[in-house]
């Protein structure tokens, strides 16, 4: 399950952070908070969903200004990704390698398709869950769709003007903290993305 949602999910998070405003309004801050929490509640892996909720709680407490700027949100997603990687024994990357991998794996012109594909995936998976958790997920999936349609789909970004100005190592709660290192013979993930129209997603 993690292998299924992970690449699309992380790519979605990274592209959202890259599109965020440098000087967000209070409305934009509320919107991204709503989006992040809807993202967490619709993660299809139960254990991952629980761990991400714990991560959010710690991050909000440690970095209360996490949504105060584009740079802060980029730092948040990179730290979150490194924290999860540390917990599951995967490599933890520094700023230079992170930016290189993001450029290689999430071309700006494909970012919208990646996000749309992620929504299609989680909607399909949750439609099979008739428990109360599955039923409650419908509301949060609709939130993801609404924010995508009304906000993210209207924005673009470039990786070239992203600045990482802080340590993006894992949070202190990470189970393992391997030394930050460059990847060795780790090929970038590839995704076969379907063409998606939001008319298909809307009810």
pLDDT digits (tens, 9 = 90+) for 134-151: 888 999 999 999 999 999
Query: Which residue did the predictor score with more confidence, 186 or 85?
Result: 85
Please tell me the distance from the alpha carbon of residue 48 to that of residue 52, in angstroms, as a whole number: 6
Lowest-confidence pick of 33-42, 90-99, 103-112: 90-99
- The CATH number of the structural domain formed by 2-159 is 1.20.120.310
Number of H helices, E strands in the chain: 8, 0
- The mean pLDDT value of the chain amounts to 84
Residue among 22, 34, 25, 8 at smallest CA distance from 145: 34
pTM: 0.82
Domain boundaries, given as residue ranges, for the chain: 2-159
CB count within 10 Å of CB 55 equals: 21
Per-residue pLDDT reduced to its tens digit, 36-63 = 999 999 999 999 999 999 999 999 999 9
């Amino acid at each position: 399950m993690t292998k299924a949602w992970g690449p699309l999910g992380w790519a979605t998070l990274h592209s959202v952070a890259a599109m965020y405003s440098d000087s967000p309004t209070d409305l934009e801050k509320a919107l991204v908070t709503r989006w992040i929490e809807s993202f967490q509640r619709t993660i299809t892996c139960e254990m991952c969903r629980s761990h991400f909720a714990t991560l959010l709680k710690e991050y909000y407490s440690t970095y209360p200004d996490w949504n105060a700027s584009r740079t802060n949100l980029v730092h948040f997603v990179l730290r979150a990704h490194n924290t999860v990687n540390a917990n599951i024994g995967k490599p933890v990357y520094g700023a230079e390698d992170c930016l290189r991998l993001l450029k290689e794996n999430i071309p700006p012109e494909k970012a919208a398709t990646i996000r749309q594909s992620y929504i299609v995936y989680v909607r399909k998976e949750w439609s099979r869950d008739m428990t109360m958790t599955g039923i409650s997920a419908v509301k949060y999936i609709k939130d993801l769709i609404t924010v995508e349609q009304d906000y993210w789909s209207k924005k673009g970004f470039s990786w070239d003007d992203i600045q990482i100005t802080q340590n993006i190592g894992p949070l202190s709660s990470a189970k393992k903290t391997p030394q930050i290192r460059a990847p060795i013979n780790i090929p970038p993930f590839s995704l076969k993305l379907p063409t998606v129209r939001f008319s298909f997603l809307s009810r």
